[in-house]
Amino acid sequence: MKFTPEKYRIADEPMQPFIDSQEIWDYINNAKPTRERVRAIIAKSLNKERLNLEETAVLVNTTDPELVEEILQGARTLKEKVYGNRIVLFAPLYIGNKCTNNCTYCGFRTSNKDAVRMTLADEDLVKEVEALEDNGQKRLILVYGEHKDYSPEFIADNVRLVYGVKKGNGEIRRVNINAAPLDVEGFRIVKESGIGTYQVFQETYHPDFYTNYHLSGKKKDFNWRLTSLDRAQEAGLDDVGIGALFGLYDWRYEVLGLVRHTNHLEACYNVGPHTISFPRIKDASSVNTPAEYVVNDDDFVKLVAILRLAVPYTGMILTARESVAVRRQVIQFGVSQIDGGTKLELGSYAQTKNEEQNLNREQFMINDNRSLGEIIEDLVDNDYLPSFCTACYRLGRTGEHFMEFSVPGFIKRFCSPNAMLTLTEYLIDYATPEVQEKGWKLIERSLVDLESQANVAEIRNRIERIKQGERDLYF
Ligand code: SAM
Ligand code: SF4
């Protein structure tokens, strides 16, 4: 993995803001997507080199359909070459929707008086986790509004509680967090509870637009949010996720903003983001969002492909905000994680609340309502290997963000075998007979692909051990 030296490598300082909107626009306004240039940039990425801002700007300016197709094909090739066919699955778990911020696009905003506010009590949380385990989930992301009740200690207690819930063969092996930015001490407290990734989305990287969308509350402070993951790094939390909420501002600018953020983390901490998220705004209770910046499906596909090429080593997350059709299409261009069986209403996995109470407790509408089982079947039918792997962070393989990417054979030695082992557990414990049959065939096909590079005999041996009743085996 080679980093391309740019001036930010020298200029950026930890804990200091780094976004210069004029600089980003200068890159976009000056980028010329000639055929030769676009092809050279795609080739650079396929050579596993990170793209710089200028190169990313060339790609976002590309509109010639033939060249756009080459960008999509490049992202597809990179994904196949680097990540193989596995897709990691997780579920979001909303813990509380109290919020003191006023983000104009969000159903939880403090001025939304229609929202019914609640926070899961410990016993409700346990029921939710049990219901998720009954579906076969192993990886969760806990989601919170911003409120004094959701202190670092509270979040850490939730995390410990979730890890302690075991039902049958079910257990949660990785808890990620999407919550308000904390101070360094707060991040340290949450890290100690054993979380995986801490996500904070910048929403928009344009400071003026940011101010217009965030009317009051702590989130109004653009730079506090921008430097939040620096504070996480200072606290030793080196596994962080960035994101932009697409639809707030020009998507091309946001793509460069995400790359700029990646540059900053690399420059200051030598670790890029573990994941990049690219949610598109969806309808939410009493929310009006601007028509001007709506990202259409074609541009959405393009921007995902460009992000894949620009930051080849980073995991990319596509959520159930998107429809089944869009998810099926976009997944080809470099997505590595999706949620499955998602429910956003608080308390709805265990259905502890009745239908009427469910109204107005969700942040926004989702568009893929399939169960985890249906999503897994769809993945298997399309030759993707569903994975619940949690090995890396449990073995301390974190921070080296490009490890999967740069260590030759890493994916084939660890990721694909672990995907097969966790899929084996799922098939035995939770799948229908039809899905089991398809799943076994997929595992066989995948083992054949690995033949020359991995210790197939040992993988087969562990699959057998799981069939005999052992659980949680990984490389
Ligand atoms: N309250 C915390 C915060 O704002 O960072 C974390 C949780 S917030 C519920 C998670 C993310 O949901 C936000 O960062 C935002 O990007 C996204 N979001 C908010 N409103 C949305 C909407 N209407 N459609 C799609 N995504 C939305
Ligand atoms: Fe609160 Fe987060 Fe929604 Fe903003 S996006 S209103 S901070 S829950």
Atom of ligand 2 lying closest to residue 145 CA:
8
104: left (phi over 0), alpha (psi -120 to 50) or beta: alpha
- The ligand placed nearest to the CA atom of residue 225 is 1
* Nearest-10 crossing angle of helices 416-429, 433-450: 160
- The ligand placed nearest to the CA atom of residue 201 is 1
Give pLDDT, residue 269.
93
Measured from the Cβ of residue 243, the count of other Cβ atoms closer than 10 Å reads 21
Report d(CA 257, CA 308) in Å as an integer.
14
Q: Compute, in angstroms, the gap from residue 22 CA to the centroid of ligand 2.
A: 27
Q: Rg of the Cα trace of the chain?
A: 21
CB of 281 closer than 6 angstroms to any ligand 1 atom: yes
CB of 321 closer than 6 angstroms to any ligand 1 atom: yes
Give pLDDT, residue 399.
67
Which residues fall within 8 angstroms of residue 292, CB to CB, at 6 or more apart? none
CB of 213 closer than 6 angstroms to any ligand 1 atom: no
Q: Compute, in angstroms, the gap from residue 364 CA to the centroid of ligand 1.
A: 9
Q: Is 140 exposed, middle or buried (0-12, 13-18, 19+ CB in 10 A)?
A: buried
- Identify the residue whose C-alpha is closest to ligand 2 atom 4: 103
Q: What is the pLDDT along the chain (475 residues), one digit of tens a residue?
A: 444 445 555 689 999 999 999 999 999 999 999 999 999 999 999 998 899 999 999 999 999 999 999 999 999 999 988 788 999 999 999 999 999 999 999 999 999 998 899 999 999 999 999 999 999 999 999 999 999 999 999 999 999 999 999 999 999 999 999 999 999 999 999 999 999 999 999 999 999 999 999 999 999 999 999 999 999 999 999 999 999 999 999 999 999 999 999 999 999 998 899 999 999 998 766 677 778 999 999 999 999 999 999 999 899 999 999 999 999 999 999 899 999 999 988 999 998 654 444 445 566 778 999 999 999 999 999 999 999 999 988 988 876 655 666 677 788 888 999 999 999 999 999 999 999 999 999 999 999 988 877 789 999 999 999 999 999 999 9
CB of 106 closer than 6 angstroms to any ligand 2 atom: yes
Which residues fall within 8 angstroms of residue 464, CB to CB, at 6 or more apart? none
- The ligand placed nearest to the CA atom of residue 180 is 1
CB of 180 closer than 6 angstroms to any ligand 1 atom: yes
Report d(CA 411, CA 85) in Å as an integer.
10
Q: What is the 3-state secondary structure (H, E, C) of 304-318?
A: HHHHHHHCCCCEEEE
- Identify the residue whose C-alpha is closest to ligand 1 atom 26: 281
- Note every long-range contact of 378-383, with CB atoms under 8 Å and residues 24 or more positions apart, other chains counting: 378/328, 379/87, 380/435, 380/438, 380/439, 380/442, 381/438, 382/328, 383/85, 383/442, 383/445
CB of 386 closer than 6 angstroms to any ligand 1 atom: no
Report d(CA 276, CA 332) in Å as an integer.
16
Mutate to test the pocket of ligand 1, among 249, 363, 368 (most ligand atoms within 8 A of CB): 363
Q: Compute, in angstroms, the gap from residue 97 CA to the centroid of ligand 2.
A: 8
Q: Compute, in angstroms, the gap from residue 60 CA to the centroid of ligand 2.
A: 29
3 state SS of 203: strand
Report d(CA 223, CA 216) in Å as an integer.
15
3 state SS of 382: coil
Cβ atoms of residues 278 and 246 within 8 Å: yes
Mutate to test the pocket of ligand 2, among 109, 214, 216, 222 (most ligand atoms within 8 A of CB): 109
CB of 391 closer than 6 angstroms to any ligand 1 atom: no
Q: Compute, in angstroms, the gap from residue 430 CA to the centroid of ligand 1.
A: 31
Mutate to test the pocket of ligand 2, among 94, 95, 103 (most ligand atoms within 8 A of CB): 103
- The ligand placed nearest to the CA atom of residue 181 is 1
- Identify the residue whose C-alpha is closest to ligand 2 atom 8: 145
Which residues fall within 8 angstroms of residue 166, CB to CB, at 6 or more apart? 133
Cβ atoms of residues 242 and 273 within 8 Å: yes
Q: Compute, in angstroms, the gap from residue 444 CA to the centroid of ligand 2.
A: 45
- Length of the chain measured in residues: 475
Q: Compute, in angstroms, the gap from residue 210 CA to the centroid of ligand 2.
A: 13
- Identify the residue whose C-alpha is closest to ligand 2 atom 2: 145
Report d(CA 400, CA 420) in Å as an integer.
24
CB of 284 closer than 6 angstroms to any ligand 2 atom: no
60: left (phi over 0), alpha (psi -120 to 50) or beta: alpha
